[in-house]
Amino acid sequence: MCFLETKSEIVVPIKYAAKVLGEIDIDSNHLEAFTQEDKLLLESLAAVLAEELSKP
C-alpha cells in the first residue's frame, strides 16, 4: 500500500518452491531511498522468511 507521502518503494516477494507466500514492501518519503544493497539484503531476508514459513 502506498501512502500519499511515498516517493520511493521497494517490494520483494517471499517465494518458496515457485509459490509466493507474501512480500516485503517498504515505502519511503525520500526519492531514490533504496539501493541495490538494500535490495540484496531484503532478498536474503525474504529467502530466510520463506524457509521458515514453509516449515510445517
Band of the pLDDT at 3, cuts 50, 70, 90? confident
How many angstroms separate the CA atoms of 50 and 36, rounded? 21
CB-count exposure of residue 12 (10 Å: 0-12, 13-18, 19+): buried
Stated pTM of the model? 0.87
- At 39, list the grid cell: 535490495
Domain chopping of the chain, boundaries: 8-53
Chain segment 34-44, per-residue pLDDT in tens: 999 999 999 99
- Give SS3 for 14: strand
pLDDT in tens, 15-52: 999 999 999 999 999 999 999 999 999 999 999 999 99
Distance of CA 51 to the CA centre of its chain: 15
DSSP string, 32-54: T---HHHHHHHHHHHHHHHHHHT
